Amino acid sequence: MSLLTNSTIAPSGSSATTRHRRLPSWGRGLLWTLLAVALLTATADLTGLAAITASPTVRAGVQLAIPILLAGLGGLWAERAGVVNIGLEGMMILGTWGAAFAGIHWGPWAAIVGGAVFGALGGLIHAIATVSFGVNHIVSGVALNLLGAGIAKYLSSLVFAPITHNPKQSPPVEQLDTYSAQPLAAWLKGLEEDHPRYVLSDVAGILRGLVSGVSPLTMITVALLVLSYFVLWHTRFGLRLRSCGENPVAAESLGIDVYRQKYLAVVISGGFAGLGGAALVLAPGLNIYLEGQTNGRGYIGLAAMIFGNWRPGGLLGGAALFGYADGLATLTNGTTVLGLFYGVTLLCVAIALVQLYHRRWTAAGVAVASSAVLYLVYLSIDALPSELTSYLPHIVTIVVLAASAQRLRMPAADGLIYRRGQAG
């Protein structure tokens, strides 16, 4: 009886995507990228704030986006299998310790492995609690965040304190070399700096930030993103894993070992979060374990994944947004950050025009009103208070989720507790 009703719910999504003649997903990605570049360029030129599209800003943004992207990938794996992973933060903290420990002893490449292994251990604990024992996923995640912070603190005072005489930090880890795509980077440098030209040097600045000073970890992360997409959406294993997140009872009836899939997904998820921790330890200019260095990035990664509608492409967009906001807030001052308000005003006007075209009057009204408010804020103050600029990514998260949350669709059985044989 229950099997019949369940199986009718299972196939969804495929019919929704073919409803209109919609762009393929890569086309939409390209469109959004072009839109973002155009928006930043317009903002930089119209406000005269060159830092918005300068290559250092973009490069910092990429570096700051990497841990968020990795944490988000962790969230993607777990939630596609139906396990909410609010414990990403704790796993990331474990990863920072593991990376620093392995990095000090065996070099930076070992640090990457160490971070992933420690994160995966955290994932294993979360899997045991949520899958085997059926603990509420958020409760277990919160407990894991406490435990992860505690373990890292304890191990750090045990292992690092004798060397550094400071229980809160580790000795430096050897740095990874960074690479630039030559001669492209040099050519872009010429375009950006020699004779600054309207629009052209802005685009060159953004591109140069993307192709110069690239850490191997960045390349690994991008490769892992593509790999995750391929494995989750184009292999049998991925289909099985996602079926556990959509309808575990139906998956079970088809002979899939749901527990095994969920365990694998959550352990992999922890490994990704741990890699994110390793990326923080290996970040250029820091290269140490520092207590509290994750600073909520696990949560931001989770938010990036939600913003990306539980899809890798969207996740990349979310991570880029938060990384860029973080980079801009770190490298520049309140005036430049305020310049972004101008950019968002432009975006709101564009949204309003699109909504008017579709005759959605309320949505257009909201967009017009918010653009007016933002423009007034932009005109009335000179700079965003410096105390608030460093929380730009967090504020962006709230605003973006408030604007997009209702159009998102999470895996149908995400966060629900599943027991083997519960269908009866």
Cis peptide before 248 (omega within 30 of 0): no
Query: Taking the CB of residue 23, how many other CB atoms lie within 10 A of it?
Result: 11
Rounded to the nearest whole angstrom, what is the least distance from the CB of residue 413 to another protein in the complex? 16
Does 145 interact with another protein (rule: CB under 8 A)? yes
Q: Which of 95, 115, 123, 148 touches another protein by CB under 8 A?
A: 148
Q: Which of 10, 16, 34, 139 touches another protein by CB under 8 A?
A: 139
Rounded to the nearest whole angstrom, what is the least distance from the CB of residue 399 to another protein in the complex? 10
Q: Are 344 and 375 in contact (CB under 8 A)?
A: no
3-class DSSP assignment, residue 179: strand
Q: Which of 28, 153, 189, 360 touches another protein by CB under 8 A?
A: 153
Q: Are 92 and 69 in contact (CB under 8 A)?
A: no
Angle between helix 108-127 and 55-80 (nearest 10): 30
Does 149 interact with another protein (rule: CB under 8 A)? yes
Does 336 interact with another protein (rule: CB under 8 A)? no
Comparing CB distances to another protein, the nearer of 239 and 398 is 398
Comparing CB distances to another protein, the nearer of 166 and 180 is 166
Comparing CB distances to another protein, the nearer of 149 and 224 is 149
d(CA 309, CA 311): 5
d(CA 163, CA 150): 20
Among 405, 422, 415, CA closest to 80: 415
Distance of CA 202 to the CA centre of its chain: 25
Among 326, 342, 329, CA closest to 385: 329
Comparing CB distances to another protein, the nearer of 81 and 94 is 94
Does 158 interact with another protein (rule: CB under 8 A)? yes
Q: Which of 107, 150, 196, 365 touches another protein by CB under 8 A?
A: 150
Q: Which of 134, 190, 284, 365 touches another protein by CB under 8 A?
A: 134
Comparing CB distances to another protein, the nearer of 138 and 231 is 138
Rounded to the nearest whole angstrom, what is the least distance from the CB of residue 150 to another protein in the complex? 3
Does 51 interact with another protein (rule: CB under 8 A)? no
Q: Which amino acid is at 187?
A: W
At residue 322's C-alpha, the angle toward residues 324 and 117, to 5°, is 110
Does 306 interact with another protein (rule: CB under 8 A)? yes
Query: Taking the CB of residue 12, how many other CB atoms lie within 10 A of it?
Result: 12
Rounded to the nearest whole angstrom, what is the least distance from the CB of residue 167 to another protein in the complex? 7
d(CA 138, CA 85): 7
d(CA 389, CA 407): 29
Burial per residue of 32-59, b for 16 or more beta-carbon CB atoms within 10 angstroms, e otherwise: eeeebeebbbbbbbebebbbbbbbbbbb
Rounded to the nearest whole angstrom, what is the least distance from the CB of residue 287 to another protein in the complex? 23
Does 86 interact with another protein (rule: CB under 8 A)? yes
d(CA 269, CA 264): 8
Distance of CA 74 to the CA centre of its chain: 9
Instruction: Please tell me the chain's helix, strand, coil percentages from 3-state DSSP, rounded to the nearest 5.
Output: 75, 0, 25
Comparing CB distances to another protein, the nearer of 183 and 424 is 424
Comparing CB distances to another protein, the nearer of 43 and 294 is 294
Site map 358..397 versus another protein, x via CB under 8 A: ---------------------------x-xx-xx--xx-x
- Per CB under 8 A, the segment of 17-25, 100-108, 136-144, 310-318 that binds another protein is 136-144
3-class DSSP assignment, residue 21: coil
Size of the site for another protein (CB under 8 A): 50
Q: Which of 138, 220, 222, 368 touches another protein by CB under 8 A?
A: 138
Comparing CB distances to another protein, the nearer of 87 and 205 is 87
Angle between helix 88-106 and 258-281 (nearest 10): 60
Site map 256..295 versus another protein, x via CB under 8 A: ---------------------------------------x
Query: Which parts of this chain interact with another protein (CB under 8 A)?
Result: 86, 125, 129, 133-136, 138-140, 142-151, 153-154, 156-158, 161, 167, 295-296, 299-300, 302-303, 306, 385, 387-388, 390-391, 394-395, 397-398, 401-402, 405-406, 422-424
